[in-house]
Amino acid sequence: MKITGVCPKNPPVWPPKSYPQDRQGRAIAPIHLVAVFPLVMGVVNVTPDSFSDGGQFLDPGAAIRHGLALIEQGADIVDVGGESTRPGAEPVSAATERARVVPVLEALAGRVRLSIDTTKAEVAEAAIEAGATLVNDVSATLWPVAAAGGVGWVAMHMQGTPRTMQHSPRYSDVVSEVRQFLTARAGQAREAGVAEVWVDPGIGFGKTLEHNLALLCSLRTLVSDGCPVVVGTSRKSFISALLGAAPPDDRLEGSLASAVWALTQGVGMVRVHDVAATVQAARLVAQDVAVPRALAGAS
């Protein structure tokens, strides 16, 4: 499905009043909305060691409250993860990860579309059972789980593993290599029967500052390949490298600037920590894109 950004003559109201439901009655933000409006995915890290907010939401009650707050702020999707993927992070067992995320997903189910951020098949399966309708997969290996569960799938590019990815990332041509990888994985997922496939270039996942900037400058190329694109730049270290040594929770301006850039390049969804501010920015981008094109179509 090619996301073109072409708008109808009467653009729909943003945000939409309600989303359709999947066959289990779970809310789905329809992928066709990406053609008109960008989506905002809010992050809930149920971990002790995530780079931005590790430990703040490890308690299930705190994570649930945070998820509810993101919904109130306007998140289209809430992405729940129970294992840190920061550079240098050590893996956790599937049992530990599952115990962290399932209570949170069950509590938030039915209130917003839910995504599970995992690389483990058994965790993804439990999350789908608990209400997730999107698998956000930094390993880009879980399309069979998405196909079997009848849910969407995000394929992200990563060189190495979280523990090793920033040791010495190297590419001959980062844009070409990431593009080829994502195109291949998206094709495998479609052949397996996954109807909703997103791709993510993996900013900060086995990339230097120069690699990240090259990918951000080439987002239109990735978008042109036909899969809707997700970008996650929120609070990442490349922002600090460009703007000065700011801690993760003091990178709002850079996070917003990079998210807006991505959206103006045709990206369909941004994954962020600061939902309220990003939703406002996304609405502005949507109106700047939708209204002129709608008027042009009517003339």
CATH number, residue 128: 3.20.20.20
Does residue 84 fall inside a structural domain? yes
Average pLDDT score, the chain: 84
pLDDT band at 295 (very low <50, low <70, confident <90, very high): very low
Q: What's the domain count of the chain?
A: 1
Would you tell me how many other CB atoms lie within 10 Å of the CB of residue 210? 12
User: Which residues carry out catalysis?
Assistant: 236, 271
Asked if residue 139 belongs to a domain, the reply is yes
**Is the residue at 129 inside a domain?**
yes
pTM assigned to the model? 0.84
Host domain of residue 174: 36-254+263-281
Does some domain include residue 28?
no
* Interval 1-29: pLDDT, tens: 333 333 333 433 434 445 555 555 555 55
Q: Is residue 21 part of a domain?
A: no
